[in-house]
A = this chain, B = another copy of it.
Amino acid sequence: MNYTMKDIAQRANVSVSSVSLVLNNKPSRIPKETKNKIRKIAEELNYRPNSAAVFLSKKISYNIGLIVPDITNPFFAFLTKTIDERLRASNYSTLFADSNNSFEREVQIINNMISHGVDGILLVPSNKFFYQPHNKLQEMIDNLNKPLILLNASSDLRVNSVNFDNVLGAIMATEELIKYGHKSIAFIKGKDHFVNAPERYQGYKDALKKNDILLNPNYVFEGDYTIQSGYQVAPNIFNQRDITAILSSNDLMLFGIIKWAKEHRENVFKRFSMVGFDNNPYTEIIEVPLTTIDQEIGKMADKAIDLLLTILREKVRDSKQIIIKPRIIRRNSIKSEHSR
């Protein structure tokens, strides 16, 4: 086993209480020399406090649960990295779990994390999360007795959340294309129950309306955010001869379209202007890097952690919905409509 305060106390000829007071820098009347002696012994023994014992008496574990739907998705990987880094900087650790896009797992994991004594939970919900009956979810959240923050998702539940303004993001993207003269803009939407998918579709529609462009239902396609689904939908887009631009709900599906085009010897970059969502780092591989809507992950992580730490510090109970403005990253995948 590891050394305990008892070991230090014995070696320093003081009581455990004194050791505790000193190592935690609590105000006490213990003189400098004794303090130094205790600190030195702790150092020598490489004393590490037993968090379980600390938790038992203080009810603070300095563990925060983080649940993501799929860590192999670069978006969630970057988010996880940033959150872990920020938490560590505030002296917290990350209890991690991958829900593998399953709601049942999410519930299991949440229970398990509470059992493991996390101080709070950051949940990046899977698409399946919002399938559930509203009141059941609300009850679960309310019964947690620990702060829960939803990331990358919005909800009308009474719950803290941090999300990007997806409607705005899609508007920005659509208007960028319109600015370059495009009027026949295809949209690849995610499935209706996907987190943030309806909002992106809404933004697309809003932007068209605002610019007096009629929505053509033949220009709207659907995918499931994977490269494959982009690949599958690609021929249909190429078949619609008047489409000049594509807005995709994420970058991955554009990758699929590009792959299909290359295999079929179509010059996709000449034929279409393209904008995606997510700022996928692998855009680097593409010979023409994609213009994309960047959800600034660092910002989201910061906001979420600020919110969480504030709740923990001040024990507030009401829930807050934070919305972050996305930004557009202009690269080379948009050409003026007339230059084609």
Contacts and interface: CB of A to CB of B under 8 A. Distances in A.
Interface of A: 1-2, 46, 48-53, 55-56, 59, 61-63, 66, 70-72, 74, 77-78, 80-81, 84-85, 88, 93-98, 100, 109, 111-117, 143, 145, 227, 255, 258-259, 262-263, 281-282, 284-287
Given A88-B97, A97-B84, A285 B78 contact: no
B115 A51 contact: yes
Contact of A115 (B49, B96, B100, B117): B49
Contact of A56 (B52, B62, B84, B116): B52
A72 B78 contact: yes
Contact of A71 (B62, B77, B258, B282): B77
A337 to B, nearest CB: 25
Tell me the number of copies of this protein.
Answer: 2
Contacts of A55: 52
A141 B111 CA distance: 33
Contacts of A109: 88
A145 B48 contact: no
Contact of A53 (B56, B63, B88, B114): B56
Nearest to A80: B71
A176 to B, nearest CB: 23
A81 B85 contact: no
Contact of A52 (B61, B282, B286): B61
Given A48-B111, A51-B117, A71-B80, 15 more contacts: A2-B145, A48-B114, A51-B115, A51-B116, A52-B52, A52-B56, A53-B56, A56-B56, A62-B116, A71-B71, A71-B84, A81-B100, A255-B284, A262-B287, A263-B287
A143 B95 CA distance: 24
B84 A1 contact: no
B115 A98 contact: no
A102 to B, nearest CB: 11
A121 B25 CA distance: 30
